[in-house]
């Protein structure tokens, strides 16, 4: 696997030798897995510190749910939710904080509060001004593929050529970023598991994740507790398994293992501790060589 090094401000991330873990912290009342659990800043900060202590390399903070059929919130409300948490957390952890937003105003406020990465599921389509904010602050930018918007993305998503369309979308997004002054070396790409994809689309992406190698950027995968995992595990066609069900987390770890073996550099997850164990073992497996007698 090719190694990438991102250096900016006080931060340095080496992507390749070891899978990095991005811990999810949703400051929302309606996210599909942990909505409503961390609305109070002190609870959110404690949760973030717990994730860092159990292996998170990045904390990803979001103030707007992007689950299927979700409604948008104003940038003022999003800022109200995330900025106090970022301000408090930035004083307590040394790992970079990512702001999960599609809005330039939110990104600007978050970066000023102590965030150091922008995670844009809209890939600069929802607010072109986000590119200018990333360029001005010279921070890494995560660009994700999504067909449609969270509100309509799961209404019969279709592709003529799944891999070609995702690659073209991400290449266009990277070109847009570069036109706004963002260095390509600061870009991370995400094929958008669960965002405008059927169960089979998600499985094909995971099975052939190395199709993104030609884009020559580090790859982030975010399959944690997604609906396609719950559907596959619902073998008796009973009530849908809730995201918090132990089987769903087991399924998530299986998917993460597959993604790591196919070249994922970063995995975005809810359960950092279990993912740390999975990633550590899979990284060791990838690095194993004939003649290594270490027990």
Catalytic positions, please? 226, 268
Q: Running DSSP on this structure, what letter comes out for residue 173?
A: H
39 burial (CB, 10 Å; 0-12 / 13-18 / 19+) is middle
- 3-state class (DSSP) for residue 268: strand
C-beta of residue 25 within 8 angstroms of C-beta of residue 51? yes
Whole-angstrom Cα distance, residue 73 to residue 62? 12
Whole-angstrom Cα distance, residue 87 to residue 114? 6
Q: Could you tell me the end-to-end alpha-carbon distance of the chain, in angstroms, rounded to an integer?
A: 24
Whole-angstrom Cα distance, residue 23 to residue 50? 10
| 185 closest CA partner among 1, 22, 15, 36 | 15
> What DSSP string runs through 206-250?
HHTGGGGGGG-S-BEE--TT-HHHHHHH-TT--SPPPTTSHHHHH
């Amino acid at each position: 696997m090719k190694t990438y090094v991102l250096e900016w401000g006080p931060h340095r991330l080496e992507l390749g030798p070891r899978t990095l873990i991005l811990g999810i912290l949703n400051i929302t009342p309606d996210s599909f897995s942990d909505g409503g659990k961390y609305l109070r800043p002190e609870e959110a900060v404690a949760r973030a510190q717990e994730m860092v202590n159990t292996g998170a390399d990045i904390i990803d903070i979001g103030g707007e749910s992007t689950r299927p059929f979700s409604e948008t919130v104003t940038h003022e409300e999003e800022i109200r939710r995330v900025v106090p948490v970022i301000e408090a957390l930035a004083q307590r952890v040394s790992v970079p904080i990512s702001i999960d937003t599609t809005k330039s105003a939110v990104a600007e406020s978050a970066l000023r509060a102590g965030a150091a990465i922008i995670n844009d599921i809209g890939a600069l389509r929802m607010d072109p001004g986000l590119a200018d904010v990333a360029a001005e602050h010279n921070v890494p930018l995560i660009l994700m593929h999504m067909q449609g918007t969270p509100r309509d993305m799961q209404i019969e998503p279709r592709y003529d050529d799944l891999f070609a369309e995702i690659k073209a979308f991400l290449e266009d997004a990277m070109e847009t970023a570069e036109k706004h002054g963002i260095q390509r070396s600061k870009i991370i790409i995400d094929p958008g598991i669960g965002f405008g994809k059927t169960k089979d689309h998600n499985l094909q992406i995971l099975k052939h994740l190395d199709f993104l190698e030609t884009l020559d950027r580090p790859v982030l995968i975010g399959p944690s507790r997604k609906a396609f995992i719950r559907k596959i595990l619902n073998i008796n066609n009973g009530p849908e398994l809730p995201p918090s069900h132990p089987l769903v987390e087991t399924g998530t770890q299986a998917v993460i293992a597959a993604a790591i073996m196919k070249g994922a550099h970063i995995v975005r997850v809810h359960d950092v501790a279990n993912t740390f164990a999975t990633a550590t073992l899979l990284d060791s497996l990838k690095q194993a060589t004939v003649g290594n007698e270490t027990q």
